[in-house]
Chain A
Amino acid sequence: MHKGIFLAAAVLASSFWGQFWPWASAPVVVSVDPLAAYRVATGSVDVYSTDRKIVGIQNSIYTSINTALVYRQAPQIHPPAYAQTLGNGVLVKSLSVQSGLPGVNVNVVALNLQTSSANSVYFEASSTGQVFVVKNLKPSAGGILSFTLPSFPVGRYDVAISNSSGMSNTAFFVVRAPTSPKVTVISVLPAKVRWGGTLVISGSGFTATGNEVITAFDTIFNVPSPDGRTLVVHITPEQMRVAASMGSGAISIPDTIEVVNNNGYTPAAKNFSVSI
C-alpha cells in the first residue's frame, strides 16, 4: 500500500517536472560534423608558399629577357639564382584524377616525400579559402600517396603536400556533385590571335564567375561567363610582351586552351596560336 502511494507520487512528480521544465526530459541532440577531423583553422597554413617562389623565379626570368630586349645591349641572358630549397623540398608531380565525387581514390605522385606517415595533403577551396587536410599518409615504394576523397564541399581546390621539408607546389582538384555539368570546349576563335588580342572560347559547363583559362604560357583567373557557354579572354603572356611590341605579327607561337571551374575541367586542350 505504502509502496503504491510512493510510486504514484513519483510518477506524478516526474510528470510535473517535465511539464514545468520541459528541457529536463527532452532528448539530447548532438550535431556531428563529418568534416571535423579534416578542418584546418583559417590562416594556420600557407598552401601557396612554394607557388609564390615559382612565380618569383618566372618573373625574374621574364624581366631579364624583356630588359635585354628593350635595351638591346645584352647578348646573352643569365638566368637569376634560384631557390635551392625549391629543388630539395617536396614537389607534386601529378594527380591520378583531377576531378571526382567524394569517395574517389586519389593517387598523388610527388618528389621528396617522407617515407614514414608524416605526409599531409591540404585542400584549399578557391571560392571560400576554407582548408581541409588529409593527414598521416605513407607513400608507396614508387613515391605515391593514396587516399579516398572525403566528403569535402563541392568546388575547385588547390592541393599541396606538406611534410618536414615544407609545403609543395599546388595542383588543382575539383570536387564534383553528381549533378555537375561536364566542362567542354568546342571551339576557340580566332585560330590565330595577335598578342593582346581577344579570344572567344565556346563550350559548355562554364560557371557565371570564377572560370580559369589555362594556356600553355599562363593562367587567366576569374573569367565570367554570363551565358554559361562563352568565355572571352585577352591573350597577354608576359614572356612575349616585349617581343610582341617589336614584332610585325609574322611569327606564330602554338598555344593551347583548357578550362577549369567548380564543375570540373576540360578533358582535352584546344589549339590556337599567338602571333607576335
Chain B
Amino acid sequence: MKKSLLFFVSLLVGGIGLLTPLSLLASALPFFGGFDVVNIPCTCAPALSWDFFIALHYSVSSAGPIIPTTGYTAGAFAAPVTPVLFSNYYIRPETWVLGTYTQGAGVCLIGVEPYCVYMPNYGLITPETGVSPTI
C-alpha cells in the first residue's frame, strides 16, 4: 500500500516536473491573436521584426480574457525572426498569428544606423507562436 502510494506520488511529482517549465511559462504570460497586415524587419535591432495586426485580440495579463470587452483593436508587436513553435510557419503579412508575449520587451528600431526609427509596440512575441498557412 505504502509502496504504491509512494509510486503514485513520485509519478505525480515527476509528471509535474516535466510539465512545469512549459505550462508555467505559458500561463505566466499574456496572450494575443490577430491578423498580420504588415511585417517589417527591425534592421537596427537584428533578429527582430515589427508586425502590425488588425482584428487584434490580446490580454494584458495571463488571467485574460483573450477577447477584450471593448472589441477588436489594432497594434503591433515585436517578433523574433525565427519562429519559436511551428518551424514551417514564419510570421508574415496576411497570416493569422497566435501566441504569448512579454510586455515591455522587444525594442524595434528600423533603418540603417545611426538613422534608426523607434517602432512602438505592445511587447515581444515570446516564447510560443503559431501562424496559419499562407492564405
Interface residues of A (CB under 8 A from B): 54, 57-58, 61-62, 65, 68-69, 72, 74-79, 82-84, 86-88, 91-95, 98, 109, 111, 169-172, 214, 216-217, 239-240, 242-243, 246-248, 251, 253-254, 256, 258, 268-269, 276
Contacts and interface: CB of A to CB of B under 8 A. Distances in A.
Nearest to B72: A87
Chain B facing A: main interface SS: strand
A217 B90 contact: no
Q: How many B residues touch the partner, as a band?
A: 35 or more
Interface of B: 35, 37-41, 43, 46, 52, 54-56, 71-76, 81-82, 88, 90, 92-94, 96, 110-112, 115, 117-120, 132-135
Contacts of A75: 117-118
Contact of A61 (B35, B38, B41): B38
A76 B40 contact: no
Given A65-B40, A269-B88, 17 more contacts: A65-B117, A69-B110, A77-B118, A84-B72, A86-B54, A87-B56, A216-B39, A217-B39, A217-B92, A239-B40, A242-B111, A247-B43, A248-B112, A254-B81, A256-B90, A256-B92, A258-B134
13 contacts: A54-B37, A57-B54, A58-B37, A75-B118, A77-B110, A77-B117, A79-B52, A93-B135, A109-B132, A171-B135, A239-B41, A243-B43, A248-B112
Nearest to A252: B46
B112 A82 contact: no
B117 A253 contact: no
Contact of B93 (A95, A217, A258): A217
A94 B115 contact: no
B72 A246 contact: no
B37 A214 contact: no
A74 B74 contact: no
B115 A69 contact: yes
A94 B135 contact: yes
A227 B48 CA distance: 38
